[in-house]
Amino acid sequence: MLLLLNLVLYIYYTAFLVYLTTLLRQWERPVKQISRLMLYCGIALLLTGVGLLAIRYPAVNYWKVVPKSLLLVAISVTTAVHREKILSTRIWQILIGLTVLTALIALWRTA
């Protein structure tokens, strides 16, 4: 079970870092767009998040899981809606802010 947990965590962190890196690489570009890779990473984040909940079920910290899951749904929906369009700077900044906020929630220690 520990091997499965580590594998799902690895996929989760990799998808998160790829998504954030892909967003940040567009910093200097005047035209910002959603790539397929970002869409796949958003879907992978949702699926691996559900997988982590299933693996760790009795010992789940709902104070972190619920807001983080809602943010990941918002990120994935926004990515899916704007995948065929040129991103406005405002939407791009919102995606970066939501992504960083999910990381901060993950790092936040709760008792």
Beta bridge partners of 86: 33
Beta bridge partners of 32: 87
pLDDT beneath 70, residues of the chain? 110-111
Q: Where are the domains of the chain?
A: 2-107
Q: What is the pLDDT of residue 18?
A: 94
Question: CA-to-CA distance for 13 and 30, rounded, in angstroms?
Answer: 28
Task: Please state whether beta strands 86-87 and 32-33 pair in parallel, antiparallel, or not at all (unpaired).
Answer: antiparallel
- pLDDT tens digits for 57-77? 787 888 888 898 899 899 889
